[in-house]
């Protein structure tokens, strides 16, 4: 591959080495220099791919100064790839200053699509994906963490966080205290041997996590269902009826029958159905 002098943003696997894309390998093979968060860590991946490019460290503490060097190299006709330890650079990882300065200097920035723990977790969480908010890491200090959680309490979007295994239980306890019965999903060790997903109301999740240390181990994406008061208020029996009827009927009809049986709002059932089922028939015109 002949690379145009540019900064390439190259996602790398978040656990399973087979998740590197063909284009990512081609770019990493062709560039003059690879800027990496931790060169020793990235050397393992690059050795595995038999790539022998020059590696340069770019991390939170030297990004400003390294950005100038890297921009100069692109302006002199070289190509640079930016990788992080895992996943997509800039997503809770270094690279923001470098990309901003490239944009300011008119240096082409070429992003490659690829692994990202937040999106991987969200896609299999079973929580609504139509709207979501990526919140990165919560503050480590208790007061700041609780303030941030309190700010987000009425957000209707699915909330996606990165969380450290050491803080997971305390964070979920804070969520239970502030958000009550709201559902949370813990996605652990994505793409690896012990990948797991658990979805429970926050108070039950605290009990489940506390019951076994292994449930807090590894790399974690924590998600909170958005605030959707209508759906939250639907009785469990009505949702059960709706789910049974949905196996046989289009959503519109199933919602109408469930509303009649349980005396709940048809619109709320219909909305719940849209968010929790992937199949809608042509009969499912909006109510």
Q: How far is the CB of 261 from ligand SAM (least distance, A)?
A: 41
Please report, as residue ranges, which positions from 170 to 199 form the binding site for ligand SAM (by CB under 6 A): 187, 189-192
- Alpha helices in the chain, H assignment, sequence order: 22-30, 39-48, 63-75, 96-105, 117-123, 142-151, 168-179, 202-210, 229-232, 236-246, 251-262, 266-276
User: In this structure, are residues 32 and 80 in contact, taking their beta carbons and an 8 Å threshold?
Assistant: yes
Query: Residue count at the site for ligand SAM (CB under 6 A)?
Result: 23
Residue 277, φ and ψ in degrees, nearest 5: -125, 150
Q: Is 92 in the site for ligand SAM (CB under 6 A)?
A: yes
| Rounded-to-5 percentages of helix, strand, coil across the chain | 45, 15, 40
CB-closest chain residue to ligand SAM: 87
SS3 of 142-158: the string is HHHHHHHHHHCCCCCCE
Kindly tell me which of 14 and 259 has the beta carbon lying closer to ligand SAM: 14
Q: How far is the CB of 45 from ligand SAM (least distance, A)?
A: 14
Instruction: Round to whole Å and give the CA distance between 272 and 287.
Output: 13
Q: How far is the CB of 197 from ligand SAM (least distance, A)?
A: 10
Q: How far is the CB of 118 from ligand SAM (least distance, A)?
A: 6
Site string for ligand SAM, 133-172 (x = CB under 6 A): -----------------------------xxx--------
Task: State the residues that interact with ligand SAM by CB under 6 A.
Answer: 14-15, 84, 86-88, 91-93, 116-118, 162-164, 187, 189-192, 219-221
């Amino acid at each position: 591959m002949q690379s145009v002098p540019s900064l390439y943003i190259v996602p790398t696997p978040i656990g399973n080495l087979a998740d590197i894309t063909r284009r990512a390998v081609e770019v990493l093979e062709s560039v003059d220099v690879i800027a990496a968060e931790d060169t020793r860590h990235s050397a393992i991946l690059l050795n595995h791919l038999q790539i022998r490019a020059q590696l340069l460290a770019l991390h939170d503490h030297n990004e400003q100064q390294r950005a100038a060097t890297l921009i100069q190299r692109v302006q002199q006709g070289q190509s640079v790839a930016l990788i992080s330890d895992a996943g997509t650079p800039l997503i809770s990882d270094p690279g923001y200053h470098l990309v901003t300065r490239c944009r300011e200097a008119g240096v082409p920035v070429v992003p490659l699509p690829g692994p990202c723990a937040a999106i991987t977790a969200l896609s299999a969480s079973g929580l609504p994906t139509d709207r979501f908010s990526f919140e990165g890491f919560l503050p480590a200090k208790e007061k700041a963490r609780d303030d941030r959680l309190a700010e987000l309490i009425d957000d209707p979007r699915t909330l996606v966080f990165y969380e450290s295994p050491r803080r997971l239980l305390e964070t979920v306890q804070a969520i239970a205290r502030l958000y009550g019965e709201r559902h949370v999903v813990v996605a652990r060790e994505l793409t690896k041997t012990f990948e797991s997903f658990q979805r429970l109301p926050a108070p039950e999740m605290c009990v489940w996590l506390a019951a076994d240390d292994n449930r807090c181990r590894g790399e974690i994406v924590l998600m909170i269902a958005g605030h959707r008061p209508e759906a939250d208020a639907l009785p469990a029996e009505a949702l059960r009826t709706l789910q049974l009827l949905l196996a046989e009927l289009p959503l519109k009809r199933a919602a109408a029958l469930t509303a009649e049986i349980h005396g709940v709002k048809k619109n709320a059932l219909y909305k719940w159905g849209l968010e929790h089922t992937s199949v809608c028939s042509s009969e499912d015109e909006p109510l």
